[in-house]
């Protein structure tokens, strides 16, 4: 007899799965109908197929929107009988984080991708005119692939997709809790696991939707290029594709940089870019898409580089699919903190990639000789020649990043099983990519002064000598007065830094000058120059903020030596221990840890860190602010480690970036409460949490309060000077007493420091003594802090905004010219 479970809400899941299947079927029908509209020669029949494809896509879009809404309904109404709601949400989450729960899981993120495809498809249907059928064939086919990810059905023995509407009891059939008809009333089902604490951030609400819109947009230039090959109209697609390529590049770039801002603000990479494999996987298609835009412009004005444009638009979408495979197959699980776990869809993802890659490249190879290409080679003094060179440089950049990011894939092949990811990713990528940045920066500043097809020799130099002079002067000034330095990788790298500084400034100055020299101040046509200015500012911001990054929290006394493990990748000398209530000097600031706080239901603790700027400890305060970095102890299996979120003080010219790197734990308290032995001779130093002590010799037969000598006592005192981080000085003199054959110690202590010292042994052969030292009361009332200064980081963020503005201006200009 079938069990009737009490309290379940089955209708939303049944409707959700029905519409998921309907969307899949409607996508198939739309794909077939649009494909027939392309291949059928009779105009009337072709139009009928096109109308059927259009209405099928409308049904598909409505179904996707309903699936989207139903899944959010299940999450927001806390229907924890559904696995997706139970795994990703909880009752304590505010509404904005409930929305973020939607795309935390793989199924939700695929649905978000499909959602954007659906909306973009509606726009394309009504704007692409004669290109509707081939473009929508490609888009509908992508919807089939994305829809299959949500089916969760078996075809023979193969499980196709993962159903986001599956019930907990269906996923865990044999679990004892689900043998009861009243399982919904049990405490276990009262609340869900909640959103991963690392993702409880406003960036999680806005970053994934923008990034997935960027992913979705890359299919449109691909679809136009594929349609051009399919219909053998090799050039007609160029003009309608250009605004979409600009829009896709802008959205994908915005999504990537939102991720960089999130990493900078919250994910404690100590910066905005860590060359993480998931970051790289998104960056590479952006690079090739940028290359495609520039070769497309070269073709529009000169007839050159059409084949390259086909290639770049095709490979950009293929790389999006490849990045999806990398991040969702589980293959990057050991090299990236951002990768999804494998839900068993790796095979589907590879099929998804093959469905688009193989036909597109086959058509490109097949029609290679038919694609128009001028017989005359480009002049090396032409704009199109250097646009092509720049595109090739971007391709080289993409290849290097893809190769290194894909090492976990190569390692699966027997011939490459010994390959391992770089141990120092920053240096590994930077040593190549800095030269890419140099070349691209120089070309960005120079190319617009060249004319299409050919440029009279000598005319360019006449136009750019002033921007070059300004650039050189600015570069020298920054090097000399700004003291830009990046010598940790050697003198050769420093030369590259100076060249990158010159090229980034030239990109800014050259394009700014071109707006007035080249296009006579016509801002309507200045979109490209504005985007290039923004790009130059991004390069300059990256360079200055990283090369001039200053560590405030220098542990000059070495108190934390040995505190961090090698796996933590923390430099002990760049972290400072802050006992509660004790001001510690960090650069121009005196910083005090004032305590912590936490909110009910929030697993994170917030640490109150007060900054005061003053010339010395007793000088008046010239600036005062408080930061609240937070942290939480990691889950089981990672005991003793913490996950911090930084806090920053923002200035116009710098950011002070602060985060907690260490907290006391129970084991540490036990160790701190016990005496530890130290062997010392005259002049030796012992560090403790609040300062250090120095041995300055021994004293025979001392007089000490609390010690009454007896006849025959042989008494020796260890004379110790104690210095604290607050510049206070104390003295200690523990006694070693030999009374007959018995040894006695008279310990000495400093109450404000909770420091106890015993004189344990005299070691005459080693000319040393042994002291026993412990800290008692306050050993568990501290934080370990890392504080950095990122100078002129706003140059980077403003550059991103300027670059986005340039893309918008270019899109508007191109749409107006259509």
Question: Which run of H or of E encompasses 515?
Answer: helix 491-517
Who's near 286: CB < 8 A, 6+ residues apart? Answer: 214, 249, 252, 253, 256
Q: What is the DSSP letter of 197?
A: G
8 Å CB contact between 60 and 139? no
Q: How many CB atoms lie within 10 A of CB 11?
A: 9
Q: Which of 588, 579, 581, 580 is nearest to 554 (CA)?
A: 588
Q: For residue 332, what pLDDT is reported?
A: 66
The vertex-364 CA angle with 361 and 366, nearest 5°, equals: 105
Burial of 693 (0-12, 13-18, 19+ CB in 10 A): buried
Q: What secondary structure does DSSP assign to 610-633, as a single string?
A: EEEE-SSTTSPPSEEEEE--EEEE
Residue 660 CA to residue 784 CA, distance in Å, equals 6
Q: What is the DSSP letter of 379?
A: P
Q: Is the dihedral angle over the CA atoms 489, 409, 204, 187 positive or is it negative?
A: negative
Q: How many CB atoms lie within 10 A of CB 490?
A: 11
Q: In the block, which residue shows the tokens 């594929």?
A: 226
Residue 727 CA to residue 614 CA, distance in Å, equals 16
Q: For residue 31, what pLDDT is reported?
A: 97
Q: What is the DSSP letter of 731?
A: E
> What percent of the chain has pLDDT above 70?
90
Burial of 283 (0-12, 13-18, 19+ CB in 10 A): buried
Whole-angstrom CA distances from 280 to 133, 416, 420, 547 are 34, 21, 17, 21
Q: For residue 267, what pLDDT is reported?
A: 61
Question: Which run of H or of E encompasses 404?
Answer: helix 383-405
Which pTM does this prediction carry? Answer: 0.81
Q: For residue 728, what pLDDT is reported?
A: 78
Residue 496 CA to residue 634 CA, distance in Å, equals 40
Q: Where are the domains of the chain?
A: 1-195, 201-421, 423-548+793-818, 566-664+782-791, 668-775
Show contacts of 440-443: CB within 8 Å, 24+ apart: 440/390, 440/393, 440/394, 440/503, 440/535, 441/500, 441/503, 441/504, 441/506, 441/507, 441/536, 441/539, 442/503, 442/506, 442/507, 443/386, 443/389, 443/390, 443/393
Whole-angstrom CA distances from 816 to 293, 301, 810, 812, 813 are 18, 17, 10, 6, 5
Regions of the chain short of the pLDDT cut 70: 1-2, 187, 267-271, 330-345, 416-417, 483-492, 557, 566-569, 598-603, 633-642, 665-673, 705-706, 751-752, 776-780, 817-818
Angle subtended by helix axes 202-217 and 238-265, to nearest 10: 160
How many Å is the maximal CA-CA distance in the chain?
124
Q: What secondary structure does DSSP assign to 658-715, as a single string?
A: EEEEE---HHHHHHHHS-EEEEE-TT-EEEETTEEEEEEEEEES---TT----TT-EE
Residue 285 CA to residue 221 CA, distance in Å, equals 12
SS (H, E, C) 262-277: HHHHCCCCCCCCCCCH
Helices first, then strands: H and E counts in the chain: 21, 23
Q: How many CB atoms lie within 10 A of CB 762?
A: 16
Q: Residue 598 phi/psi, 5° resolution?
A: -150, 155
Q: For residue 334, what pLDDT is reported?
A: 57
Q: For residue 190, what pLDDT is reported?
A: 82
3-state helix, strand, coil in the chain (%, to 5): 55, 15, 30
Question: Which run of H or of E encompasses 685?
Answer: strand 685-688
8 Å CB contact between 356 and 321? yes
Q: In the block, which residue shows the tokens 């296009």?
A: 519
Q: Would you state the structure tokens that stand for residue 732, as one six-digit string?
A: 């200690």
Q: In the block, which residue shows the tokens 């109150």?
A: 608
| Separation of first and last alpha carbons in the chain | 68
Q: For residue 671, what pLDDT is reported?
A: 47
Q: For residue 798, what pLDDT is reported?
A: 93
Residue 475 CA to residue 243 CA, distance in Å, equals 36
Q: Residue 662 phi/psi, 5° resolution?
A: -155, 145
Q: Which of 678, 735, 682, 731 is nearest to 709 (CA)?
A: 735
């Amino acid at each position: 007899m079938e069990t009737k479970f009490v309290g379940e809400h089955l209708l939303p899941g049944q409707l959700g799965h029905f519409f998921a299947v309907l969307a899949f079927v409607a996508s198939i029908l739309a794909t077939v109908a649009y494909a027939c509209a392309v291949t059928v020669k009779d105009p009337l029949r072709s139009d009928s197929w096109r109308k059927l494809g259009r209405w099928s896509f409308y049904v598909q879009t409505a179904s996707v929107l309903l699936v989207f809404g139903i899944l959010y309904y299940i999450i927001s109404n806390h229907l924890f009988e559904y696995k997706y709601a139970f795994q990703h949400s909880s009752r304590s989450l505010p509404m904005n984080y409930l929305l973020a729960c939607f795309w935390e899981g793989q199924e939700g993120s695929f649905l978000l991708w499909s959602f954007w495809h659906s909306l973009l498809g509606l726009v394309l249907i009504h704007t692409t005119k004669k290109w509707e059928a081939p473009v929508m064939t490609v888009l509908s086919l992508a919807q089939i692939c994305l829809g299959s990810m949500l089916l969760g059905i078996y075809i023979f023995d193969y499980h196709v997709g993962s159903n986001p509407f599956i019930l907990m009891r269906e996923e865990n059939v044999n679990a004892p809790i689900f043998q009861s008809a009243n399982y919904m009333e049990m405490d276990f089902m009262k609340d869900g696991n909640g959103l991963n604490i690392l993702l409880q951030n406003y960036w999680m609400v806005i970053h994934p939707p923008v990034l997935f819109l960027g992913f979705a947009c890359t299919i449109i230039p691909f679809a136009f290029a594929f349609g051009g090959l399919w219909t053998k109209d090799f050039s007609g697609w160029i003009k309608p594709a250009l605004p979409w390529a600009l829009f896709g590049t802008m959205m994908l770039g915005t999504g990537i940089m939102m991720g960089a801002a999130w990493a900078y603000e919250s994910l404690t990479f100590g910066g905005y870019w860590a060359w993480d494999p998931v970051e790289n996987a998104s960056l590479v298609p952006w690079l090739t898409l940028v290359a495609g835009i520039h070769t497309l412009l070269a073709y529009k004005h000169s007839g050159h580089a059409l084949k390259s444009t086909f290639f770049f638009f095709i490979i950009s979408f293929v790389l999006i699919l490849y990045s999806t495979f990398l991040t969702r197959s589980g293959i990057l699980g050991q090299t990236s903190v951002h990768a999804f776990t494998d839900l068993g869809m790796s095979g589907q993802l590879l099929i998804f990639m093959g469905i688009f890659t193989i036909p597109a490249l086959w058509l490109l190879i097949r029609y290679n000789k038919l694609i128009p290409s001028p017989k005359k080679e480009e002049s090396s003094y032409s704009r199109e020649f250097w646009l092509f060179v720049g595109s090739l440089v971007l391709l080289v950049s993409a290849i290097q990043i893809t190769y290194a990011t894909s090492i976990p894939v190569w390692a699966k092949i027997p011939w490459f099983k010994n390959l391992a990811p770089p141990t120092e990713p920053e240096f590994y990528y930077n040593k190549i990519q800095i030269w890419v940045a140099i070349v691209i920066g120089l070309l960005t500043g120079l190319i617009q002064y060249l004319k299409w097809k050919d440029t009279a020799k000598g005319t360019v130099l006449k136009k750019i000598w002033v921007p070059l002079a300004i650039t050189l002067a600015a570069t020298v000034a920054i090097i000399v007065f700004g003291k830009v330095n990046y010598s940790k990788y050697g003198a050769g790298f420093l030369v590259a830094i100076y060249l990158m500084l010159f090229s980034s400034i030239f990109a800014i100055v050259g394009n700014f000058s071109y707006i007035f020299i080249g296009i006579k101040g016509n801002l309507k046509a200045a979109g490209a120059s504005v985007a290039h200015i923004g790009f130059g500012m991004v390069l300059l911001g990256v360079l200055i903020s990283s090369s001039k990054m200053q560590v405030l929290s220098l542990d000059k006394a070495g108190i934390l030596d040995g505190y961090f493990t090698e796996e933590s990748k923390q430099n002990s000398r760049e972290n400072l221990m802050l006992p509660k209530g004790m001001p510690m000097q960090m650069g121009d600031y005196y910083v005090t840890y004032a305590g912590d706080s936490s909110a009910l239901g929030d697993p994170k603790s917030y640490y109150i860190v007060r900054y005061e700027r003053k010339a010395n400890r007793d000088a008046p305060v010239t600036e005062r602010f408080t930061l609240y970095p937070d942290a939480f102890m990691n889950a089981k299996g990672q005991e003793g480690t913490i996950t911090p979120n930084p806090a920053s003080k923002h200035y116009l010219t710098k950011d002070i970036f602060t985060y907690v790197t260490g907290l006391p734990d129970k084991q540490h308290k036990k160790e701190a409460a016990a005496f530890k032995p130290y062997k010392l001779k005259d002049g030796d130093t012992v560090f403790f949490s609040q300062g250090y002590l120095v041995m300055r010799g021994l004293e025979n037969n001392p007089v000490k309060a609390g010690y009454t000598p007896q006849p025959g006592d042989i008494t020796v005192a260890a004379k110790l000077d104690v210095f604290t981080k607050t510049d206070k000085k104390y003295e200690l003199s523990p006694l070693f007493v030999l009374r007959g054959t018995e040894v006695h110690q008279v310990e000495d202590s400093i109450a404000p420091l909770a420091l106890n010292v015993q004189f344990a042994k005299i070691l005459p052969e080693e000319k040393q003594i042994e002291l026993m030292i412990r800290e008692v009361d306050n050993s568990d009332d501290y934080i370990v802090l890392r504080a950095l200064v990122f100078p002129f980081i706003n140059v980077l963020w403003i550059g991103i905004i300027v670059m986005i503005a340039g893309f918008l201006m270019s899109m508007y200009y191109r749409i107006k010219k259509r």
